[in-house]
Amino acid sequence: MTVLPKVGEEVTVVCKRSDLERKVSLVHSSKYQTFYGTIYPTQSWQKARKSLNLTTGNNFFPWREIPLHTIVSITHGNNTIKVKIEKPHKKIYKVKGSTGTIYNVLKSNGAFSCDCIGFKFHGNCKHIKAVNKT
């Protein structure tokens, strides 16, 4: 397991652009992008997602959320951690809600998401909790 830099540390993070991002952007066609900033605490609503928050110094995007599975390397101080990009490991669970509706809980690289409205607003929901228990 990679030891992640602590909150408040200044880091340079190189990460892989998603294929979608490369498709929609004409300017940024490179495969990798680099961010420089200070590690920012993970917010409670982000806990179900595995990501690293970075302040950017940019007024329009004061901080960025970088999904851990896209990170290639993290440099802090004189240390550079090379991160092995794992192939996306995806699994979908069907979870029956209290009203009988079936929800799709996606587990991707250990991070959960759900197609219910609760997840949209809170970043977590009882369907994810149900999958997590099994």
Question: Which residues of this chain interact with Zn ion, rule CB under 5 A?
Answer: 103, 114, 116, 119, 125, 127
Residue 3: count other Cβ atoms within 10 Å of its Cβ.
Answer: 8
Closest approach of Zn ion to the CB of residue 125, in Å: 3
CB nearer to Zn ion: pick between 66 and 119 = 119
Closest approach of Zn ion to the CB of residue 80, in Å: 38
CB nearer to Zn ion: pick between 52 and 114 = 114
Cα–Cα separations (whole angstroms), residue 108 to 11, 30, 34, 134: 25, 24, 23, 16
Closest approach of Zn ion to the CB of residue 92, in Å: 12
Q: 114 and 105 in contact (C-beta within 8 Å)?
A: yes
CB nearer to Zn ion: pick between 69 and 127 = 127
Cα separation, 123 vs 134, whole angstroms: 20
